[in-house]
Amino acid sequence: MNREPIDRKKVWVEILEAMANGASMSSVLKREGMPDYSWCTKQIRDDPELQRAYNQALENRGALLAEEIFELADQPLPEGLDPRELSAWVQKLKLQVDARRWASSRLLPKVYGDRLDVNMSTSSISITKALETANQRVIDMEAHVVSEFKELPIASEHAQSGKDALDNARSVKKSHWY
């Protein structure tokens, strides 16, 4: 088989332009004078600049397919169809919309994807630090309760030690909570 040499730049301009306008790479490669699919995938894999251009063409294709969804959905019903033909027409339209929705969600997942990104990348949570902080809040609260109890007129009569004062403060506070 005697093939002409491939003008790499010319071929990729045509492929990427057609893809950005909605065509699949495999459909473009069926055209006369185009290389085969394996040659293209090897070129993409081996050339980082071509990879970026290919990915950009895919994103453009995804955006175009998403826009086509609205055009398809806004089509008026054709007149003169019997119920069976009308049902088939609607099913075909639904299939076209679903295919474009699926493809656009895969080609542009951040824009049209179904998943929410809930990754936490700013900091990690330390259980030990959280427990230390909670413990410090309890100690501060107890100290506050003791100081409030000492200010009560009955504190000097009933408190014989710091422990008694704390126990009494807790019982007085509980009576105010309920």
List, by residue range, all CATH 1.10.10.60 domains of the chain: 8-112
Distance (Å, whole) CA 103 – CA 60: 12
Q: Is residue 59 within 8 Å of 108, Cβ to Cβ?
A: yes
pLDDT at residue 92, as a whole number: 95
CATH superfamily of 8-112: Homeodomain-like (1.10.10.60)
Distance (Å, whole) CA 34 – CA 26: 10
pLDDT at residue 7, as a whole number: 84
pTM beyond 0.85: the answer is: no
Instruction: Work out the widest C-alpha separation in the chain, in whole angstroms.
Output: 111
- What is the chain's pLDDT, residue by residue, as a tens digit (178 residues)? 445 667 888 999 999 999 999 999 999 999 998 999 999 999 999 999 999 999 999 999 999 999 999 999 999 999 999 999 999 999 999 999 999 999 999 988 888 887 766 666 666 778 888 888 888 888 888 877 777 766 666 555 554 555 666 666 666 555 554 4
Distance (Å, whole) CA 141 – CA 146: 9
What backbone torsions phi and psi does residue 87 show, to the nearest 5 degrees? -60, -40
Distance (Å, whole) CA 164 – CA 146: 10
Structural tokens at position 122: 């700013």
Q: State the DSSP string of 104-173.
A: HHHHSHHHH-S-------S----HHHHHHHHHHHHHHHHHHHHHHHHHSTTHHHH-SSHHHHHHHHHHHH
pLDDT at residue 108, as a whole number: 85
